Structure 1
Amino acid sequence: MDVLSKMTRAISDALKDPEKLPGALILCGVLEAAAALSLVFFREPGAAFLHHGEKALSYVYYAALIAIVVFGLAEAAVGFWVSGDPAGRRVVGKVVMGFSILPLIIVAGLGGFSSAAPK
């Protein structure tokens, strides 16, 4: 949970100060992508995704995590782009930061930021 609190603090600071926005975008993007990748490789989908032996929801689980990995890397790339002109590109950075909240919630809800050993 320490990582999650640092991410939310970085997001909060970035929305107030345009100079901190690129760092927050890069931090959140890389950590979202890493947490989603750890879920892909080290966690099996839960019982809700394995309904009566059907694999369709399991594929949705993995597709959503891969989409979050791609979004996290794109968010980090936007962070590098915004760092070129933080004051002028602040609106784009804030929009991307706003959209990053949903993947952050999904990964945190699935246990991506958990320090527990994988099963």
Structure 2
Amino acid sequence: MDIIFTILASIAAACSDRKNLPKALISGGIFKAAAALCLVFFHGPGGVFLHHGKGAYYLYYGILVTIAVFGLMEASVGCWVSGRLEDRHAAGKAVLCVSILPLVCVAAFGGFVVLRKMN
């Protein structure tokens, strides 16, 4: 649970200081990818995804795989932004703002449950 607060603190710090942007992108992206993959492998779908046919079942896994790919892409953008921070700051900040939605989705699908089981 502490890692989530650390990532949220780094996102908040990146909004006020440009030097923290690559760190926030890389750590947030790796966390989202890891949490989504943990959900894919260790936590099955529940609730509305179970009782509405196979389409919803596959939608659950499709969303999680998409979030994992987005997380890896976000980490790659963090490495790209760190090369020339002054020129690429706007693109990195845009990706950071968009990355909040996948973080909320991972948490809603049960990301906290998987992290609690690992401890």
Return the offset for 1:81: 0.2
2:74 matches 1:87: no
Q: Which amino acid is the alignment partner of residue 4 of structure 1?
A: I
2:55 matches 1:56: yes
- The RMSD of aligned alpha carbons is 1.3
> How many residues are matched?
117
Structure with the bigger percentage of helix: 2
Q: Which residue of 2 aligns with 1:103?
A: 102
Name the TM-score, length of structure 2 as normaliser.
Answer: 0.93
Q: What is the DSSP-based 3-state SS (H/G/I as helix, E as strand, rest coil) of the residue aligned with 1:89?
A: helix
Deviation beyond 2 Å, 4+ runs, structure 1: 113-118
Return the offset for 1:116: 3.0
Could you tell me which runs of 5 or more consecutive residues in structure 2 were left unpaired when the two chains were aligned. none
Residues 19 and 87 in structure 1, CA contact (< 8 A), matched pair in contact too: no
Q: Which residue of 1 aligns with 2:10?
A: 10
Q: Which amino acid is the alignment partner of residue 71 of structure 1?
A: F
Percent sequence identity over aligned pairs: 50
Return the offset for 1:4: 1.4
Matched residues in 2 for 1:9 and 1:116: separation? 20
